[in-house]
Chains A and B, each alone.
Chain A
Amino acid sequence: MAEDIRGKVEWILGGKQNGQQPQQQAQPPAASISSPSQPIIQQAPAPPAPTQALILTPLPQAQPLPAAQMAKPIAQNPTPAAPRRSNGVNINLLSQQMLDAMAGEEKITFVLNEVKVGKILVLEYGLTPAEQTKLIERTMMEIDPETFIGIEIQSYSAEAKHGFFQNIFGKAARPRMTVIGPADLLRIVHKDNQVIQTMVLTGKNA
């Protein structure tokens, strides 16, 4: 596939994960890791043209909203559709509240429908392991050789929970920031405990 690689995006996670140190071979991020109080998205300093870089830091733990303020069910009310062959790429950042408002199957359907129309999703907190396998399973059912070859998905390892009640009741570890996109549009360049580095391939689908 001869695609123009125009956009390069780094999804950088602040803080240390599960007490693990970064891998020796890991490349340092484009800028120092921001604190949660900094803007969610900031332009990285002087990225080499034509590469564009975005730095994302995770939001602090969001408080649940009252039911009346919760987002409406998304599957029936998707984010505004953008034409696949437009001049840009849709990158949607989805909050924890938005995803929590959806049941498991509804969440999978929503993610898959959005990705199939060419959107790249960044989930503030990702999918559980069971949801990830369900998404892969549903993706395999939807693959069409000519129009949809699957998804690219990357997340950090789940945060371990070692609290008393988690140990007693076996509560699943909390998933973490996740990026999902169409496999013909999003490519993972590098990943370690601190950075997910991606490229957006715009030549074929723009």
Chain B
Amino acid sequence: MAGIDSSSESLFSKWIKRLFGGKQQIRIGLYGPPNAGKTTLANRIVHDWTGEVMGSVSPVPHETRRVKKKANVVINNGGGAISLDVVDTPGIATKIDYHEFMDFGMNEEDSKRRAKEATEGVIEAIRWLDEVDGIILVMDSAEDPFTQVNITLIGNIEARKLPVVIAANKIDLPNASPASLKSAFPQHPVIPISAMSGHNMDQLYKRIIKEFR
């Protein structure tokens, strides 16, 4: 039970920190299911404000298998500024089947290794929930919003009382429906974006400053 209750301890310590001076640096985690575009968005944010990139992207699921951090990303969008530590996390999943990787042309040995690393990445991502001050929840707006990963992440964010912005990604796809995401999670801000093309990123930056500062 101790592990399950750790979130409330973290919540309490964060509340105390906020009460007595707050944190100068806000640590923001990018969370979501595999292939939602978390690393593409992390790259977009970091590139827009530092000129660097955070990680490689791939159509093969679980390309990001370790948490990656980029400190001191200052977003200054005219109306305000915020300094973030951006934390890109592996996609959260409830199952990992190495055969899925073989469908992308990987051999069995590499696929099994990737699956093993992916399981470790999911565990690491979950444990980082206790370490972030806010979350950008990245969802694929061309996919069903009611996935269990989305439901579980929203539930954890609400239980921890973390500020959240939902990035409804991939609006460049013809079957994208960010309106479905908005109606599925009306209690949270949903910003339609394309991390790949950069469309509507200015709106996301405005919302990040508003929600996380």
Contact = CB atoms under 8 A, between A and B. Distances in A.
Contacts of A23: 180, 183-184
Contacts of A131: 4
A153 to B, nearest CB: 5
Contacts of A133: 126, 129, 152, 156
Contact of B4 (A1, A130, A184): A130
Contact of B159 (A105, A129, A150): A129
Given A133-B129, A133-B152, A172-B159, A103 B94 contact: no
Contacts of A141: 119, 123
Nearest to A103: B1
Given A133-B156, A157-B154, A173-B155, A143 B94 contact: no
A153 B148 contact: yes
B48 to A, nearest CB: 31
A25 B145 CA distance: 12
Size band of the interface chain B makes with A: 35 or more
Interface residues of A, number: 41
B98 A145 contact: yes
B182 to A, nearest CB: 12
Nearest to A21: B183
Interface in B94-112: 94-99, 112
A104 interface: yes
A145 B114 CA distance: 11
A151 B122 CA distance: 14
A172 B59 CA distance: 37
A188 B144 CA distance: 12
Interface string B110-130: 001001100110110011010
A128 to B, nearest CB: 7
A130 B7 contact: yes
A156 to B, nearest CB: 8
B159 to A, nearest CB: 5
Contacts of A145: 98, 112, 115-116
Interface string A19-40: 0100101000000000000000
A137 B126 contact: yes
A154 B96 contact: no
Contacts of B3: 105, 134
B151 interface: yes
A170 interface: yes
Interface string A170-196: 101101000000011000100111000
A58 B38 CA distance: 36
B193 interface: no
Interface string A58-75: 000000000000000000
Given A133-B152, A140-B119, A145-B112, A1 B95 contact: no
B49 interface: no
7 contacts: A129-B156, A130-B5, A133-B129, A134-B3, A140-B120, A143-B119, A155-B148
Interface of A: 1, 20, 23, 25, 103-105, 128-134, 136-137, 139-141, 143, 145, 149-158, 170, 172-173, 175, 183-184, 188, 191-193
Interface of B: 1, 3-5, 7, 92-99, 112, 115-116, 119-120, 122-123, 126-127, 129, 144, 146-148, 151-152, 154-156, 158-159, 161, 180, 183-184, 186
3 closest residue pairs by CB, A with B: A150-B95, A129-B155, A183-B95
